[in-house]
Amino acid sequence: MSELHVIDHPLITHKLSIMRNKKTGSKDFRELLNEIAMLMGYEVFRDLPMEEITIETPICKTKAKVIAGRKLAIVPILRAGLGMVDGLQSLVPVAKVGHIGMYRDPETHKPVEYYCKLPADVQDRLVVLVDPMLATGGSAADALTKLKEHGCRNIRFMCLVAAPEGVKVVQEQHPDVEIFCAALDDHLNENAYIVPGLGDAGDRIFGTL
């Protein structure tokens, strides 16, 4: 079964609590989401392989460690995943960015795919799939299947708020994919929204409420 990492840090939890508040407007919501994405990046990229190179400081020659030439890709699930890209990309500016477009059918809550554009060499990259909300797990599970259809074998999924129901679905369908979240919430309501959650992430980011 894939590992679930709940990144429990005061800075992240504090910022997430502000995001949960319905009085928080789109500008602050977007800024906080990107800040949390950057903070979570420290954990998501914690085990990137390093290599030793020789450099010269102003004082002497020395060996120094740098990230080994592992290629990275960040893939947001549209729309809301877009809100996490800048924060992550500021940590790894060389990462390429792919996009998978999906929306949940309002009746069935099942994901409907409408767009997919990935880097040509995505199969050679460590891919971080991002979406703030893991609710029923349908969108994340389908996006992971899509990435695997494109040959990706080294994938992590990063979200902000996860519901136990969605974690179970992803773990069952994609036991090889590690999941990173900032909070594991309680349950889904009758409309498949996360409780307590933060509402509709896409609407809050883009002001389409």
104 is catalytic: yes
Q: Using only the alpha carbons of the chain, give its radius of gyration.
A: 18
Select from ligand PRP, ligand URA, none the partner in contact with residue 116, using the beta carbon and a kind-dependent cut-off of 5 to 8 Å. none
Cα distances (angstroms) measured from residue 83 to each of 64, 107, 195, 206: 34, 25, 21, 9
Phi, psi of 57 (to 5 degrees): -85, 175
DSSP state of 84: G
Of 62, 108, 145, 208, the active-site residue reads 108
Site for ligand URA (CB under 6 A): which residue of 20, 171, 200, 206? 200
- 79 an active-site residue? no
Contact status: 83 vs ligand URA (CB under 6 A): no
Amino acid at 97: V
Distance CA 110, CA 132 (A): 17
- Tell me which H or E stretch contains 133: strand 133-134
**For ligand PRP, which residue of 134, 161, 167, 182 counts as binding (CB under 6 A)?**
134
Query: Would strands 111-117 and 99-104 be described as parallel, antiparallel, or unpaired?
Result: antiparallel
Q: Is 193 in the site for ligand PRP (CB under 6 A)?
A: no
Give me the catalytic one of 30, 79, 104, 204: 104
What single letter denotes the amino acid at residue 202?
Answer: G
One residue of 102, 133, 140, 141 binding ligand URA per CB under 6 A: 133
| Partner in contact with 159, chosen from ligand PRP, ligand URA, none, beta carbon below 5 to 8 Å by kind | none
200 sits near ligand PRP (criterion: CB under 6 A): yes
Positions touching ligand URA (CB under 6 A) are 80, 133, 135, 193-194, 197, 200-202
